[in-house]
Structure 1
Amino acid sequence: MCGFVSIISKNGKPVSKESLKAMSREIIHRGPDDSGTWLSDWCGLAFRRLSIMDVSDQGHQPMPDSSGEYVIVFNGEVYNFKEIRLELEEAGVAFRSGSDTEVVLQSYIRWGEKCVERFTGMFSLIIVEKRIRRIFIARDHLGIKPLYTYEDDDFFYFSSEIKALRHVTRFKVNYDSLFEQLIYRYVAGNNTPFKEIHKLSAGTYRLIEQGQFKKDEIYYDIAEKLQVKSRVQEIGILPKIESALKDSIQLHTRSDVGYNIQLSGGVDSSFITAVLSEVECKRLDTFSITLDDEGCNEEKFQNIVATRYRTKHHAYRLTANSFSEALEKAAWHMDVPIVHLGCIFLMLLCQHSVKNSKVILTGEGADELFGGYSRYMLGKKDQITNTIQRLKIQGHFLPNISPFKGLKSRLSKKIIEKQLSTSKDSMLPFLDNLEENTRFRDRTGDALTDTVDKMLAHDQKCYLESLLDRQDKMSMAVSVESRVPFCNPRLFDMVNPISNKLKLKNNIPKYLLKKLSEPYLDNSILYRRKNGLKLPLDQWLRNGPLKDRLSVLTDDTARQRGIYHYATLTKAVDRHIAGKENHGKQLMTLMMFETWMRIFIDRQGERPY
């Protein structure tokens, strides 16, 4: 895993070497092992390398082919590169290195844009064809690796992180997207909280020819196979899923520097640990975050798995001080306002684990793949009538959700809207203009009619990408490569057509994964209530360093911001500190929001530490 930036001229105006280098310096944390630059009069590429595959100098980027006609920068991993390399060698292609980057380049030379359909992995890349001035830009199937773009009258700019673009534009807020991020915890589509800065969408490639945009092509739609349901039986499909999962997990261990496992104590990471314990000859290194308060963490369950599989377990104990000290660093590295406090956990865990290896495997994506959220139960057809009565709209929910009137035809959208928003922790009392900026938009289109399928499609196409962005940014903040074995398009293509009745059998979320995990994990792991690490935010925001940080919500800078209901916010802060009310989650979210505003808007992305 690495990072890159690029500048491409639209009209022949020379690329600034100084701008290219300045952009590259902003992402040095993504690749402290090596760096490189390639520059022509119309295009520039700069690269930061974290050596994982073929750690020799032969993996240096930007990498040309032997003819010098093609040049590539490539961030990520193609895990099946050995199989693709063998196919290319049988066709007469000669290789000069052992890196997957060269395999990706030669794949493009042989198969053109269709090469990305062969890759199993996580990647963003740019390939330059010098003679014809053709640029191929692509992002992996699920959007595991980020790629951002900005353009002005003269140039296209690309970067693995938004912060690098501070050297070529002035950051301005896109309030529609910003409030969407706060309420739904993601920005759908290719927008970002910054005006004129966009993402290249997951499963998409772009062509630029002679300095002109030619096309964006979607080569993979993660939720497409939700539309066609198969009639598979549990007894027949479970062994196939188990085999595919094991293959994906083992494929994700390909590395020249070893790997760690993030062990949360839940089913997903525990299954990864179990599978790899059976195939590895050495003891595995597992890592976790714990808290002093036993009621707030998963340490008991982490220890059950670590003991059963004799892992060398490393538990990092999180305190209010260590959490507080990490906030600015995490906010800067994340690029967008932090709405998942797990960002801070993940960064600190990776900071602890990097001493052992640069690679860590996580269970991210299993909930979106197998249906792991309890909200899916609300969408089951046999529960719709009862749901109408149970879903009462409270005053603090999103304002555009009107009370139910018993209209089943409208229930699907209402369930999705309520469940995908952070309605119970709404920011409505504290932010101006929130209502008109958070109108619910159904991102699944009309193709899906089943409510659970619509929820899965939202989670797979929108929410999952925000979780993967968190994995990337927080691990790369400390030069660690995070790998996600459940986020394999072949797994989604296998599981998505399965009926929701089977996925949620006996009203058990993630039923299929839990059932096939029974030989590997105790029932205390498999069938317990989903909890996760829960911070004592109410307490932390009344005492110690986090209490002091609340001043960012009540000082003159916040008051002059013009986006807060200032009187309501200051009253909430005072009453929370006094112990009269609990607003911990809302205040923490707003604190991170204001911290982001100060770093990226007031100080234009300047490093805060």
Structure 2
Amino acid sequence: MCGFVAAIGKDHKEIVSEGTLRSMTRMLTHRGPDDEGLWNERELAFGFRRLSIIDLSPQGHQPMLSAEGRYVIVFNGEIYNYLELRAELEDKGVRFSSHTDTEVLLAAYQLWGEKCLSKLSGMFAFVVADRWERNVFAARDPLGIKPLYHWEDGKAHIFCSEPKALLPYAELEPDYAALDEYLCFRGLSGPGTLFKNLKSVQPGSCLTWRNGILSKKRYFELENSFSEAFGGSFAEACETVESALQESVKLHLRSDVELGIQLSGGVDSSLVTALAAKQSGKAFHTFSISVPGGAEDESAYQKMVSQQYGSIHHDYPVDDALLMELLPQAAWGFGAPLNDPNSIAAWHLSREAKKHVTVMLSGEGADESFLGYRRHAPEMLSEKCRSAKLRRIPGVKWLAGRWPFQVGRSWRRALALDPVLFAQSLGNLDLSLLLQREKGNPAKGFRAEMRNVAGDDLTKGIILQDQAAYLAPWLQRADTMGMAHALEFRVPLCTKGIFQLANSLPYRLKVYNGERKAILKKIAEKYLPMELIYRKKVGFSVPGKDWIEGRGPFRNFVGEMLSASAAKKRPFAETAHFREVRRRFDAGEAERHAGFFWTYANLELWQQIFFEGGWKRFSEGSSK
């Protein structure tokens, strides 16, 4: 919906000038091209860029003040149940001057304070200041669909929608302490970022600034939603989930601007398309990426769904040359080392879709909640259970980590790496093992915390890693790549209520008779062709591994970045891990998903853009 900056001076004095605040805010122009607002009062300074979606009138201007002038808010996101909340507040005597969800949120906070968070259905990040008491409250939605970052230095606390907003304020520095986790998993869990002094506010968290002290609290803990309390049959589970999905899609269709749907051709996005078409009775624009001639090309299934529901379909073919041309712009938009070659395709799809719509629904989150990944299959879990049991035998982990022979290498990797933590690893496991032996377990912090929550329950452990650690970086990818073009992504299969429902269902129902994501597939039988539902899962992907290991622009890019003179001087260049990755690349060896090849190359590109002035050629705010 928007982008904002909210600064708090620690010494009760002006922390940023109006000129600096404006420059910081304009770094987020891509998120909100429709309007700009600044509010600066002593130690408090708010800047806002608006993307108009609900109530397009000037009454939606932010920062927004309450009627009596006590509170001021900046808010990014959507409160989908704002009409119901508005009616509840009106019954309590609240009067409104606009039709925005922002005014409803502000009134809800005025009346209920922090407790308003339990009433919100939506995706959000917001900051509210009490001008009379000089207190500040900030919060992020339960699943982390909308980003919220927190910068702290000796002078200020600054909240912002993207790290790039800080560039006019401070010289950003890389934080290599978080690098190992990013290399293994292509994303960071919990509050960590790759920038010093910058944290990501965790999903389901809120912060309060009062009397010079900033306190933090998690108001929603996803790990506590695992109950498997549902006692019904498979058919009853399907009926309950279908009803919840219908209601979620209905709420996600609320908008005063044109909506579209990202249609990959898989079960999740196709089901969203079907439910949206049934709910609205209208023909939506649908959008997809295709790779002509590639194994990842799902264009036939995309067209199948489009024809069935009468959508206005837009397919954008891509190849390695086009995506490589777009890579620097996508890297700037992402704000971190690009986590996957398909992120460039996501940037391109968003740019093209914005020519037709302002809001796009997608199927993100269903694999994590209803267990759609291969690692969720019974045979895969059984294999990991065997590894986990062997690891408990005294001395086995030590021996596996130091096994000197070539024979038994797969056995060594399986036992040396925690099967729960490394189920999501996207690189060669022997390279992950090398990294662990050299620098310690890269799955630190929040990942390790969630691992401890699961205890010996391996199935819960893997699902919890997917939901609490793995999902958030991909939601961030959807947000940043969409908002790079002022396109709002909505994820109706990814809500607090749906995850709570999914986590109340026993594993045997979600993987019914060995079929992953069985409940959603059974529901989909009412809406979609069987050949689409029960085919091999592909996902939103491009053949990045083939491109990197073949001949062409992707391989040239990786080679250039790994051998760049600047890269050779980075702190990570001295590690045995980097040297081995580079040796394998130079030797033309294959790597699973080309994970470490790709991530190291994009780490170098990211450093050139964010720390060596490269950002100035992309930035809206750098010349204003």
Out of 470, 474, 477, the position equivalent to 2:484 is: 477
Out of 569, 578, 601, the position equivalent to 1:591 is: 601
Partner of 2:394: none
- For 1:556, the aligned partner's letter is S
Q: Where do 1:233-382 residues align within 5 Å?
A: 233-377=233-377
**Cα shift at 1:295:** 2.1
- Please give the per-residue CA displacement for 1:78-113, whole angstroms capped at 9, x wherever unaligned: 000000001111111110001000000000111111
Residues 277 and 283 of structure 2 are in contact (CA less than 8 Å); yes or no, is this contact kept in structure 1? yes
Shifted more, 39-48 versus 204-213: the winner is 204-213
Residues 13 and 42 of structure 1 are in contact (CA less than 8 Å); yes or no, is this contact kept in structure 2? yes
**Cα shift at 1:562:** 4.0
Following the alignment from structure 1 to structure 2, what is the Cα–Cα distance between the partners of residues 596 and 483? 27
- For 2:418, the aligned partner's letter is K
Shifted more, 596-605 versus 162-171: the winner is 596-605
Q: Describe the shift of the 1:426–1:91 C-alpha distance in structure 2 as closer, same or farther (beyond 3 A).
A: farther
2:540 corresponds to 1:526: no
Identity of aligned residues (%): 35
- For 1:317, the aligned partner's letter is P
Residues 553 and 570 of structure 1 are in contact (CA less than 8 Å); yes or no, is this contact kept in structure 2? yes
Q: Describe the shift of the 1:483–1:73 C-alpha distance in structure 2 as closer, same or farther (beyond 3 A).
A: same
- What SS does structure 2 have at the residue aligned with 1:156? strand
Following the alignment from structure 1 to structure 2, what is the Cα–Cα distance between the partners of residues 166 and 310? 45
- What SS does structure 2 have at the residue aligned with 1:32? coil
Following the alignment from structure 1 to structure 2, what is the Cα–Cα distance between the partners of residues 242 and 432? 43
**Cα shift at 1:426:** 6.3
**Cα shift at 1:336:** 1.7
- What SS does structure 2 have at the residue aligned with 1:357? coil
- What SS does structure 2 have at the residue aligned with 1:149? strand
Residues 180 and 435 of structure 2 are in contact (CA less than 8 Å); yes or no, is this contact kept in structure 1? no
- What SS does structure 1 have at the residue aligned with 2:288? strand
Partner of 2:543: 535
Using the size of structure 1 for normalisation, the TM-score is 0.91
Partner of 1:77: 78
**Cα shift at 1:165:** 1.6
Residues 205 and 218 of structure 2 are in contact (CA less than 8 Å); yes or no, is this contact kept in structure 1? yes
- What SS does structure 1 have at the residue aligned with 2:566? helix
Q: Describe the shift of the 1:430–1:380 C-alpha distance in structure 2 as closer, same or farther (beyond 3 A).
A: closer
2:446 corresponds to 1:436: no
**Cα shift at 1:145:** 0.6
**Cα shift at 1:66:** 1.0
CA RMSD of aligned residues (A): 3.0
Following the alignment from structure 2 to structure 1, what is the Cα–Cα distance between the partners of residues 560 and 437? 23
Following the alignment from structure 2 to structure 1, what is the Cα–Cα distance between the partners of residues 44 and 615? 25
Residues 183 and 426 of structure 1 are in contact (CA less than 8 Å); yes or no, is this contact kept in structure 2? no
Shifted more, 229-238 versus 431-440: the winner is 431-440
- What SS does structure 1 have at the residue aligned with 2:420? helix
Q: Where do 1:400-439 residues align within 5 Å?
A: 414-424=418-428, 435-436=439-440, 438-439=442-443
Shifted more, 381-390 versus 346-355: the winner is 381-390
- What SS does structure 2 have at the residue aligned with 1:337? coil
Following the alignment from structure 1 to structure 2, what is the Cα–Cα distance between the partners of residues 523 and 344? 31
**Cα shift at 1:384:** 6.1
2:473 corresponds to 1:466: yes
**Cα shift at 1:399:** 12
Shifted more, 75-84 versus 522-531: the winner is 522-531
- Please give the per-residue CA displacement for 1:412-438, whole angstroms capped at 9, x wherever unaligned: 983212312224276569989963361
Following the alignment from structure 2 to structure 1, what is the Cα–Cα distance between the partners of residues 486 and 503? 33
Q: Which runs of 5+ in 2 are unaligned?
A: 392-396, 620-624
Partner of 1:394: none
Following the alignment from structure 1 to structure 2, what is the Cα–Cα distance between the partners of residues 19 and 386? 57
Q: Describe the shift of the 1:426–1:481 C-alpha distance in structure 2 as closer, same or farther (beyond 3 A).
A: farther
**Cα shift at 1:247:** 0.7
Out of 564, 572, 580, the position equivalent to 1:563 is: 572
Following the alignment from structure 2 to structure 1, what is the Cα–Cα distance between the partners of residues 582 and 457? 44
- For 1:338, the aligned partner's letter is L
Shifted more, 105-114 versus 588-597: the winner is 588-597
- What SS does structure 2 have at the residue aligned with 1:207? strand
Q: Describe the shift of the 1:388–1:454 C-alpha distance in structure 2 as closer, same or farther (beyond 3 A).
A: closer
- For 2:206, the aligned partner's letter is Y
- For 2:311, the aligned partner's letter is T
- Please give the per-residue CA displacement for 1:13-37, whole angstroms capped at 9, x wherever unaligned: 2132232122112111010110000
Q: State how many pairs are aligned.
A: 597
- For 1:600, the aligned partner's letter is F
Following the alignment from structure 1 to structure 2, what is the Cα–Cα distance between the partners of residues 241 and 389? 35
**Cα shift at 1:221:** 1.3
Following the alignment from structure 2 to structure 1, what is the Cα–Cα distance between the partners of residues 436 and 456? 35
Residues 428 and 595 of structure 2 are in contact (CA less than 8 Å); yes or no, is this contact kept in structure 1? no
Q: Describe the shift of the 1:333–1:493 C-alpha distance in structure 2 as closer, same or farther (beyond 3 A).
A: same
